Chain A
Amino acid sequence: MKKVILTSGLAVVLALPAVGWSADYQMDTSGAHSSVNFKVSHLGYGFIKGRFNEFTGSFSYDPSNLTASKVMVTVDTGSLDSNHAERDKHLRSSDFIDAREYPEATFVSTSVTSMAGGKLKIAGDLTLHGMTKPFTIDAEIIGEGNDPWGNYRAGFSGTGRIELADYGVKVMGSSSYVDLELYVEGIRQ
């Protein structure tokens, strides 16, 4: 009996890649192996780096069928952290992202295009400051495999540029845009 289960289990596992089975991954936020970072010019002389400490996300990913991949992320805008209490308070205020009125920002992919050299173009809808606009993330596969603690992980990096005016956020400084830097590690479910 045991043998039958093992054998049939093996058969299923072997059959999976052939049918393009997409695995679901949960972004590793509890272990903080994923981060949503931003970078914005300060006066044109330097850069401020910050991040959103709280977000959740998931993706489905199959290396043999990349275009079937999907990504979903929800960011708690109130968790903005640029390592400066007074600036963070200002950035969360209605002068900028208005975290009280719009506590969440979301990204939901609509299509994934496979590019040369393990690169991906992830198109989707970004909702920020109460407005939803098409948004593209240039992503790259970093690696995947078993971790030492019994899980299977896949990791990506991504970049994207948010034009503040697109989302109705006033442009006050020297820069009209904010660059996103994303590092995502997913644990296969």
Chain B
Amino acid sequence: MAQHQVEKYDGVSRLFHWLSAITVLAMFALGVWMVELDYYSQWYQKAPFVHKSVGLLLAAVTIGRLLWRLKAEHPEVEGKPVEVMAARTAHSMMYVLLFVLFVSGYLISTSDGRGIEVFGWFTVPGAGELFRDQSDIAGRVHYYAAFLLIGLVVVHVAAALKHHFFDKDNTLRKMIGISK
């Protein structure tokens, strides 16, 4: 990872990044909306079904993304040393929170031993109740982790825009693929 010999992120890394970005924002909106649905809403079963399916697929994609990251050459993180450190910490935290969300989401739905159906294509088996009050605890973890992740996303976007418009460096361009 990070050989610092390239100017921009490679196509696969950019695809992973933007696909994750769109999915995470959509999943957050879907998640916040679906838990308030009325029992008699026609979305009451469909929305969580889509949320769980997309979540498990994103988990697989994110594992692929991390494997790719090990192998792909990445451009340098730009900015002052403290900014570089903050950026690296934020990036790692976002990955950690993604996995906290994947695991906690899985634990909410599987404490009864049921698997999770992914768009009716296949079922990820359930592991049952691994600890007491699993669904309730996992539910709270999932909730707070989601808000924390979105908070970090906001900081991440703000930092990218600051680098782009104020520092006028390559930070945003190298993820779009148009580095100077």
Binds B, one of A1-9, A19-27, A84-92, A148-156: A84-92
Interface centre among A78, A85, A99 (most CB of B within 10 A): A85
Q: Are A86 and B136 CB-contacts (below 8 A) given A172-B39, A173-B39?
A: no
* A175 interfacial by beta-carbon distance below 8 Å: no
Q: How far is the CB of A130 from chain B (nearest CB, A)?
A: 18
Q: Are B109 and A86 in contact (CB under 8 A)?
A: yes
B-contacting residues, A35-80, CB 8 Å? 78
Residues of B within 8 A of A85 (CB): 108-112, 114, 134-135
A93 to B111, CA, bound (A): 16
A 88-120 binary contact with B (CB < 8 Å = 1; else 0): 110011000001100000000000000000000
Q: Are A89 and B136 in contact (CB under 8 A)?
A: yes
Residues of A within 8 A of B134 (CB): 85
Residues of B within 8 A of A88 (CB): 112, 135
A182 to B35, CA, bound (A): 33
Bin chain B's interface residue count.
10 to 19
* A83 interfacial by beta-carbon distance below 8 Å: yes
A83 to B113, CA, bound (A): 9
Residues of B within 8 A of A84 (CB): 112, 114
A62 to B110, CA, bound (A): 46
A139 to B80, CA, bound (A): 76
Q: How far is the CB of B80 from chain A (nearest CB, A)?
A: 45
The chain B residue sitting closest to A83, CB to CB, is B112
Q: Are A86 and B133 CB-contacts (below 8 A) given A172-B39, A173-B39?
A: no
A93 to B48, CA, bound (A): 17
A-contacting residues, B34-71, CB 8 Å? 39, 48
Q: How far is the CB of A37 from chain B (nearest CB, A)?
A: 17
Q: How far is the CB of A25 from chain B (nearest CB, A)?
A: 28
Q: Are A78 and B133 CB-contacts (below 8 A) given A172-B39, A173-B39?
A: yes
Residues of A within 8 A of B111 (CB): 85
The chain A residue sitting closest to B111, CB to CB, is A85
Q: How far is the CB of B111 from chain A (nearest CB, A)?
A: 4
Residues of A within 8 A of B109 (CB): 85-86
A114 to B156, CA, bound (A): 72
5 A-B pairs (CB sep. < 8 Å): A85-B112, A86-B48, A86-B135, A92-B136, A100-B136
Q: 5 smallest A-B Cβ distances: which pairs?
A: A85-B112, A89-B135, A85-B111, A85-B135, A85-B109
Apart from A84-B114, A85-B110, A89-B136, list 4 A-B contacts with CB within 8 A.
A83-B112, A85-B108, A85-B109, A88-B135
Residues of A that sit less than 8 Å from B by CB? 78, 83-86, 88-89, 92-93, 99-100, 172-173
